[in-house]
Chains A and B, each alone.
Chain A
Amino acid sequence: MSATTPSKLESILAAGHFAVTSECGPPRSAEGTVVDEKARLVGPYVDVINVTDNQTAVVRMSSLASCIRIKQLGFEPVLQMTTRDRNRIGLQSDLLGAGAFGINNVLCLTGDHQRFGDHPNAANVFDLDSTQLIQTVRQMRDEGKLLSGYEMTVPPKMFIGAAENPFADPFEIRVLRLAKKVAAGAQFIQTQCIYNMEKFKLWMQQIVERGLHEKVSILAGITPMKSIGMARYMKAKVPGMDVPDEVIKRLQGVPKDKVAAEGINIAVEQIQELKECPGVRGFHVMAIEWEEKVPEIVERAGLYPRPKVD
């Protein structure tokens, strides 16, 4: 595999290294320095930093604006884009804007329904879905054309990503759906947070059987549990999250002041175990509102220092 875009993430993967990505949720205000602080915390320990797009349908500083700040600090962002809030006109416009600022990674998402967010009475858009957004970015990049067919002089050079949740239902078609995203143009996949290792490995096995791991780089989603409450909340309330009872029991088995440390231990062990899992090409470490723990996880998992690529 050789890189076809200026994306550092693509180069890291093309060179055969495990990629490490993390995530930064922008603030619910115009305080840009919040983004900078988060980026400075995780930046040196990862290859690229995802910037969420109004995650859980809560209004936050725009993903594109935050990506630009991160880029200007010298780190490489991944622009997350959901199709919930913008139609094909808005999405393509932001992709052109991202291209103009040298942003070379995009993660195409449909997005959480606004029912969960801070504006449940909003109209939603869903002009495209995530697969169609992937197709759109690929057409813009490879054919230099907008969806309308208009030929642009300078297309955005995007390394195209998508998300996949191996734990959603129906399980039987999760791999088929991934295949569809790959057919649409997805080059990397960041998965939902993994807690059910057995189910994840079963999913990976199906991916390898179909040869999909040779067409797309799978980055395993790792989120450390900060507390027993968080584990319980994720199990009960977060759609599509699969938290086995053993994870909760393990956290309950340590003294109260050691729970967070045990959460980190679990995350590190998961990465070490998944390094051996055929088809896994990297890790997406999402320490939710706990970004300061990313360096420790990456270091202890033997993924630091990050390799240098051209």
Chain B
Amino acid sequence: MIMAKPKPTEEIIREIKDFDNILVAGCNGCVAVCEAGGLKEVEILASALRMYFANQQKKIEIGEVSLTRQCDKEYLAELKDRIGAYDAVVSIACGAGVQFMAEMYSKMRVFPGVDTCFIGATEEKGVWTERCQACGTCILASTGGICPVARCSKRILNGPCGGSSNGKCEIDKEVPCGWQLIYERLKELGELKRFEEPTPAKDWSTSRDGGPRRLIKEVSQI
């Protein structure tokens, strides 16, 4: 899922302090799972903003809503009749949701309330780690199900580099070396011979290097 973390409240306040009617809009998709942008976080952020502005003796109306998803027009359309009552929206969906909100309600000022971080998984309660960089050409079949693009700090395809030490990456002793993980998995699978053949240069054109991406579902011929 797409991971995000709440922006510092002061940063959000700086953006919205001159508005009188604010809608805090959450998303019940990914960002709700990573506890950054769901209904619960909408309530927490709205309360924090109310307290701040009350202390400042500023009169401000803050509405709350959380949509099934902000990356789908049909769910965003649920706001059609009530959004006119506000003069700004703080969206705590991921970057895609914030943009779709701004696109659909183009006259409305829309501010992001979270920093979208990465595509990841729940390691343990409250800990999420990156697993995928959406490069557009999956190579997990040849790397024991562990992605070097996402999990090697240098996205090396012929790793590990000389900085791998005691299973950790040279950038930080807390970061596992992706290639150490790949090595251990391939060893377990009896596929270490994969280490002998050089992997040639990757085609990055399916990644963000190819420009903004678009996906069209083709009608299945089967």
Answer yes or no: do A and B interact: yes
Q: Separation in Å of the A145 CB from the closest CB of chain B?
A: 13
A183 x B196 contact (CB < 8 A): yes
Ordered nearest first, which 6 A-B pairs have the shortest CB separation? A165-B162, A239-B170, A131-B158, A239-B163, A129-B156, A184-B198
Residues of B within 8 A of A116 (CB): 170-171
29 pairs from A and B in contact (CB 8 Å cutoff): A110-B154, A110-B156, A111-B154, A113-B154, A113-B163, A113-B171, A115-B153, A128-B201, A129-B154, A129-B155, A130-B156, A131-B157, A131-B198, A132-B157, A132-B158, A132-B198, A168-B164, A169-B180, A173-B183, A173-B195, A179-B196, A180-B195, A180-B196, A180-B198, A181-B158, A183-B197, A184-B198, A239-B170, A240-B163
Please tell me which one of the listed residues A147, A164, A165, A170 contacts residue B201 in the complex, with CB atoms under 8 A apart. A147
Please tell me which one of the listed residues A115, A168, A176, A179 contacts residue B161 in the complex, with CB atoms under 8 A apart. A168
Q: Separation in Å of the A90 CB from the closest CB of chain B?
A: 14
Residues of B within 8 A of A94 (CB): none
Tell me if B200 counts as interface (CB < 8 A to partner A).
yes
Tell me if A270 counts as interface (CB < 8 A to partner B).
no
Tell me if B9 counts as interface (CB < 8 A to partner A).
no
Q: Which of B186-211 contact A (CB under 8 A)?
A: 192, 195-201, 204
A165-B164 Cα distance, complex, nearest whole Å: 10
A240 x B162 contact (CB < 8 A): yes
A240-B160 Cα distance, complex, nearest whole Å: 11
Please tell me which one of the listed residues A126, A136, A179 contacts residue B156 in the complex, with CB atoms under 8 A apart. A126
Tell me if B221 counts as interface (CB < 8 A to partner A).
no
A116-B160 Cα distance, complex, nearest whole Å: 18
Chain B 129-171 near chain A by CB (<8 Å), digits 1 or 0: 0000000000000000000000001111111111111110011
Tell me if B177 counts as interface (CB < 8 A to partner A).
yes
> B153, B157, B201 — which one has the most chain A CB atoms within 10 A of its CB?
B201
Number of interface residues of B (CB under 8 A): 30
Q: Which of A133-170 contact B (CB under 8 A)?
A: 135-136, 147, 163-165, 168-170
A113-B163, A129-B159 provided; 8 other pairs, C-beta below 8 A? Answer: A113-B170, A129-B157, A131-B198, A168-B164, A168-B165, A170-B180, A170-B183, A239-B162
Q: Separation in Å of the A132 CB from the closest CB of chain B?
A: 5
Please tell me which one of the listed residues A84, A88, A170, A183 contacts residue B164 in the complex, with CB atoms under 8 A apart. A170
Residues of A within 8 A of B200 (CB): 132, 135
B158 x A169 contact (CB < 8 A): no
Q: Separation in Å of the A74 CB from the closest CB of chain B?
A: 32
A176-B196 Cα distance, complex, nearest whole Å: 6
A256-B197 Cα distance, complex, nearest whole Å: 50
Residues of A within 8 A of B195 (CB): 173, 176-177, 180
Tell me if A272 counts as interface (CB < 8 A to partner B).
no
Residues of B within 8 A of A164 (CB): 162
Q: Which of A269-301 contact B (CB under 8 A)?
A: none
Q: Separation in Å of the B45 CB from the closest CB of chain A?
A: 28
* Given contacts A129-B158, A130-B158, A113 and B153 within 8 Å (CB-CB): yes
Residues of B within 8 A of A239 (CB): 162-163, 165, 170
Residues of B within 8 A of A176 (CB): 192, 195-196
Residues of A within 8 A of B159 (CB): 129
Tell me if A118 counts as interface (CB < 8 A to partner B).
no
Residues of B within 8 A of A115 (CB): 153, 171-172
| Closest B residue, CB atoms, query A177 | B195
A192 x B162 contact (CB < 8 A): yes
A59-B160 Cα distance, complex, nearest whole Å: 25
A170 x B197 contact (CB < 8 A): no
A235-B163 Cα distance, complex, nearest whole Å: 13
A173 x B192 contact (CB < 8 A): yes
Q: Separation in Å of the A230 CB from the closest CB of chain B?
A: 19
Residues of A within 8 A of B163 (CB): 112-113, 168, 239-240
Tell me if A37 counts as interface (CB < 8 A to partner B).
no
Tell me if A214 counts as interface (CB < 8 A to partner B).
no
| Closest B residue, CB atoms, query A83 | B154
Residues of B within 8 A of A184 (CB): 158, 198
Residues of B within 8 A of A130 (CB): 156, 158, 161
Residues of A within 8 A of B177 (CB): 169
B157 x A163 contact (CB < 8 A): no
Residues of B within 8 A of A192 (CB): 162
Residues of B within 8 A of A181 (CB): 158, 198
